[in-house]
Amino acid sequence: MKARVHVTLKNGVLDPQGKAIQHALAALGFDGVDDVRQGKFIELDLAETDKVKAEAAVDEMCRKLLSNTVIENYDIEID
């Protein structure tokens, strides 16, 4: 079973990496880029075959390791 996790910075948290991308795009001549936010994307291959159990396990992984819940949100897709 595959899990796809997006870890993104919460609104209001400064994103220097996103700002660096935005400035680099402007320097390359791409106009009209109003904002850039960079997050992480993690794909997991799980041995678990039960969707509910897999989602619960990944949720725990996100809370314990994959995200910093003080400043980040996470979003899980299982398929």
Contacting positions for its own copies (CB under 8 A): 6-8, 18, 21, 24-25, 28, 30-48, 57, 60-61, 64-66
Provide the residue count of the chain: 79
Distance separating alpha carbons of residues 22 and 35, to the nearest angstrom: 7
Q: Could you tell me the smallest distance in angstroms from the CB atom of residue 25 to its own copies?
A: 6
Smallest gap, in angstroms, from Cβ of residue 10 to its own copies? 13
Contact 76, 55 (CB under 8 A): yes
Instruction: Quote the least distance from Cβ 33 to its own copies, whole Å.
Output: 6
How far, in whole angstroms, is CA 2 from its chain's centroid? 16
